[in-house]
Amino acid sequence: MHRFLIFLTALLAGCAAWNAPLNTALETGTNAALVDPDSAASGEDDIYIGLAFSGGGTRASAFAYGMAEALRETGVSVKTPNGLLDNVRLVSGVSGGSVTAAQLGLYGPQGLIGYREKYLLTDAEKYMANSLFNPLTVAKGIAGGANGRDSFGRYIDEVLFKGATFGDLRKRSHIKTWINATDIANASQFLFSPETFDALCSDLSRLPIAEAVAASAAVPLVFTPIVLQVHQGKCAYKEPDWLTAARFNPEASAAMRAHARALESYSDPEKVKFVKLLDGGITDNFGTTGLAVERARAQAPYAPMTAAEAVRLKRLLFLVADAGVQHDYSWTQTAKGPGGPGLGAAVANAAISSATRSGYDAMRGEMKRWQEDLIEWRCALPAHEVRRLRGAAPGAWDCADVKLFVGMANFDGVDPAMHKALNKVPTRLRLKPEEVDLVIEAGRIATRNAPEFNGFVQSLAGNDVESRIADGIARGGRRVMPVGQ
């Protein structure tokens, strides 16, 4: 059998699934922002919520959905019929979490109505070759990937995105949507952002959203890499000032330098002609590195917000969803093992988990500094500039009245019996209905029990009890201090 697989691998190496690049050249100018900064957003002007949805197959998609529903069920005012979900301004997604992130980003809160039936309860493996008992499937996986974009990417486009592009997202959404993949040549996070596509001389607005989500969820061997062509010389690309500065700045973070090196490599045809993308969880399974990099390279104290958003801001919540299952301790009960696939999985999980934790910690550090920068910037503004940026916003303005809360919702936020059941839910793109509903409910409960979420909601109630809180949530747990205090 072993020799047969080697033979099949060699035979299929030249005909394994692969994805022809779909991205087109950028004909003029630079890529537009993911969202129109002047577009009218729903919700309260002084509340800003960012969400990061982790990887983990449909389990992660369902957990993210439950988390979003917990926000919807937490009312704020008559201006927010979808509760706190109307105040989401940023969503970042990795792998399975990128499906829910893209759905929320493209369609807004209304896009999650019926999402359980439309996607979570369906078979997203419908077009996939995934049987380990099929030698052809195994051999194609070893040769580069058992499935191309015509499997999972095709499915999510049919049932969710309907051919929508990043240009469509900009036209209809006020939620900045970050889809995260991994550039395997540069061993760095790849963010589907205007800045990245400027470096590729490629038009992001014409790229299908399903292509980005397929790249974010492209588990090695199961999927072949999503390929992007670098269109060097097709645009007048000029590297951003922060990239030039990072090259000579010894204090630049490792993540910022890695991002800078990747962008730099795209302008050199001797290095990169085609970018190969795999699962974003390889480099950051929480999708938080993008925010840390965004802040580290920011040339304005308020970025990635606009100046108007930063002046109106009072409370910010950045909540990370971790849909990862508990570690496997079965092989630690004996002196022997692990071996073979078990050893490979253990090594990969250790590396991914370590990188993800580091990314999360870096992001928290950047958020703490961001709060300090925001207050310093706001308090230095002249009165006329404050009036211009606030517009007709009601009430008095306190330049120091800014609090940022950063936290995580995970399986630790549920009772032990549910936690044990959740650990049995597989990382697949097809789950049983009872598994889907279990994970959705876990997302709701974990969010409501997250101390930082409770602290955020309590801070809203403390600021304006009568007009802010229309519905309450159960409050408990330890006392939470905002980031930076």
* pLDDT tens digits, 278-295: 999 999 999 888 888 888
Please report the pLDDT score of residue 26 as a whole number.
Answer: 94
State the pLDDT at residue 5. 46
The sign of the dihedral angle between the CA atoms of 194, 177, 428, 187 is positive
The residue assigned the tokens 């809180």 is 469
- Cα(439)–Cα(121) distance, integer angstroms: 12
Residue 147 confidence (pLDDT):
87
Half-sphere exposure for 200 (CA within 13 Å, toward CB): 27
Question: Residue 471: pLDDT above 80?
Answer: no
> Peptide bond before 338: cis, by omega within 30 degrees of 0?
yes
Distance (Å, whole) CA 147 – CA 137: 9
Using the predicted structure, report yes or no on whether residue 480 has a pLDDT greater than 60.
no
* Cα-based distances in Å from 170 to 34, 42, 118, 287, 303: 6, 15, 23, 21, 18
Query: Please, which pLDDT band fits residue 476 given cuts at 50, 70 and 90?
Result: very low
How far apart CA 450 and CA 71 sit, in angstroms, is 12
Q: Which distant-in-sequence residues (6+ apart) come within 8 Å of 324 by Cβ?
A: 54, 56, 285, 353, 410, 411
Instruction: Return the minimum-mean-pLDDT range out of 94-98, 365-369, 415-419, 434-438.
Output: 365-369
Three-state secondary-structure class, residue 465: helix
Q: Which of 460, 437, 443 is nearest to 84 (CA)?
A: 460
Of the listed ranges 167-176, 235-244, 396-405, the least confidently predicted one is 235-244
Closest CA to 391 of 312, 316, 463, 314: 312
Q: Would residue 336 be called left, alpha or beta, if left means φ above 0 and alpha means ψ between -120 and 50 degrees?
A: beta
What is the three-class DSSP state of 469?
Answer: coil
Residue that has been written with the tokens 């801001």 in this structure: 313
Query: Under DSSP, is residue 188 helix (H, G, I), strand (E, B) or coil?
Result: strand
How confident is the model at residue 326, as a pLDDT? 66
Give the residue with greater pLDDT, 201 vs 467: 201
Contact 262, 192 (CB under 8 A): no
**DSSP secondary structure code for residue 116 in this structure:** I
Evaluate if residue 259 carries a pLDDT over 80: yes
Asked whether residue 4 carries a pLDDT value surpassing 70, the answer given is: no
Which pLDDT band holds residue 206 (cuts at 50, 70, 90)? very high
Residue 465 has pLDDT above 50, yes or no: no
Q: Identify the pLDDT of residue 137.
A: 57
Q: Quickly tell me which residue has 């930082």 as its tokens.
A: 452
- Residue 381 burial by CB count (10 A; 0-12/13-18/19+): exposed, middle or buried? middle
pLDDT at 483: 44
| Cα–Cα distance for residue pair 454/480, rounded to 1 Å | 8
Q: What is the pLDDT of residue 229?
A: 97
Q: How sure is the predictor about 353, in pLDDT bands with cuts at 50, 70 and 90? A: confident
Q: What is the band of 479 on the pLDDT scale with cuts at 50, 70, 90? A: very low
Residue 345 has pLDDT above 70, yes or no: no
Tell me the average pLDDT across 55-62: 96
pLDDT score for 394: 75
Range ranked top by mean pLDDT from 31-45, 46-60, 332-346, 389-403 = 46-60
Length of the chain counted residue by residue: 485
Q: At what angle do helices 289-296 and 254-266 cross, to 10 degrees?
A: 90
If you ran DSSP here, which 8-state letter would residue 391 be given? T
